[in-house]
Amino acid sequence: MSFNVSGLSTYTDEVSGELIAKAVLVGNTVDRVSIQPGIKGSQTLNLLDNTLVLQAAACGFNTSGSVNLTQRTLTVSGIKVNETLCPADLDNYFLGQKLRPGSINDNVPEEEKIVDKYVKEIQSANEALIWRGNTSSTNPNLARATGLLQIVSASYAASEGVLVPNASTGSITLSNVDDKVEAMVDNIPTAIMEQEDLTLFVPYSVFNLYVQKLRNDNLFHYPTATAGEFEMMIPGVAAKVQLVATAGLNSTSAMVLSSAKNLFVGTDLLDETDNLRMWYSEDNDEVRFRANYKLGTQVAYPDFVVWNGTIS
């Protein structure tokens, strides 16, 4: 007689829903933008705008103006992570000392640390996918979905009003980073100038250059970023704009400015089947890791996005 452990789940599965939500919905970008949950394939963003006409006071009722209804489609892509871990591979290494006695192991050492690392890696991969995703990419991690940069670029090509300020294009250096940032702010559409969540998303390299420029110009009277926090209000401008560094734009010189709620990330995390699990497969005599979720992006109003015309 022997123990049959096929009906047992490891500790990590007890919080699978919490872990997958943390992996997908926690990050530098998703903490700020609009989240559209419960999407299986495609879902429309139903947009409403009014054309208001003021009339001279007079008797009678003269209708004028309109309510404009439009839609943009947010499509999510199914994503999974599958990995296998064979505890026996550790027998001749230091971690093998942490295996249970005997030659049959239904778990791996440091399981919670491994799962926590998986969560962080998924977060990092999703951050890049949200911004730089391109289904034509040769990078398998970026080919899973269409990111915001591709959507903004396509919107501009379709003459949908995305602004590309000439003064902000070209390489960004310590000597011109303030001019580049100012050019982005100068092109904010007047219709959103008073929005409370105006955000200029930049790569870490641009953020660091901007902070250095303020320091080198002795602009210490302006509040800058707190150490370890890659966000700050852009000083000396009329609009209330937050400068935010995101790892999703790293390896590029791209800058995107918009009301944060104008940018959407779609997912299906309301479905009970979405989870992150690590379990022992008795049939295969190995520990398996699985994560399943869906992810996609969209811009509600492309004409309210300022972009410096750079993807790479």
Lowest mean pLDDT among 4-13, 164-173, 232-241: 4-13
| Across 275-290, average pLDDT | 79
Question: What average pLDDT does the structure give for the chain?
Answer: 81
Exposure b/e, 250-277, CB count within 10 A at least 16 = b: bebbbbbbbbbebbbbbbbbeeeebbbb
d(CA 249, CA 204): 8
Burial class (CB in 10 A: 0-12, 13-18, 19+), 13: middle
Total Cβ atoms within 10 A of residue 90: 17
In the predicted model, is pLDDT for residue 239 greater than 90? Answer: no
* Band (71; pLDDT cuts 50, 70, 90): confident
Cut 0.85: pTM above it: no
Element (H, E) at 118: helix 111-132
Q: Is the pLDDT reported for residue 30 higher than 50?
A: yes
Percent of the chain at pLDDT above 70? 77
pLDDT at 106: 59
Q: Can you tell me the distance from the alpha carbon of 38 to that of 291, in angstroms, rounded to the nearest whole number?
A: 17
Predicted pLDDT at 77: 93
> Looking at residues 234-247, what average pLDDT do you find?
89
Q: If you count them, how many residues does the chain have?
A: 312
Give the range among 7-21, 150-164, 192-206 with minimum mean pLDDT.
Answer: 7-21
List the alpha helices (DSSP H) in 133-192.
Answer: 148-157, 177-186
Q: HSE of 207 in the Cβ direction (CA atoms, 13 Å)?
A: 26
Reported as a single tens digit per residue, the pLDDT across 287-298 is 788 888 999 999
Give the CA angle between residues 83, 86, 88 to the nearest 5°. Answer: 170
Distance CA 115, CA 186 (A): 45
**pLDDT tier at 101, thresholds 50, 70, 90:** low
- Tokens 């070209």 belong to 170
> How many C-alpha atoms does 276 have within 13 Å on its Cβ side?
26
Q: Where do the structural domains in the chain lie, given as residue ranges? A: 11-50+64-307
* Cα–Cα dist 281/287, whole Å: 6
Q: Quick check: 261 pLDDT over 90? A: yes
Predicted pLDDT at 93: 46
Give mean pLDDT, residues 24-36: 87
Q: What is the pLDDT of residue 6?
A: 56
Residue 91 structure tokens: 């027998």
pLDDT confidence bin for 119, thresholds 50/70/90:
confident
Confidence (pLDDT) at 238:
74
Q: Assess whether pLDDT exceeds 90 at residue 104.
A: no
Cβ-based neighbour number of residue 56 at 10 Å: 5
Which residue did the predictor score with more confidence, 84 or 90?
A: 84
Cα separation, 209 vs 200, in Å, equals 14
DSSP symbol at 234: P
The average pLDDT across 113-125 equals 85
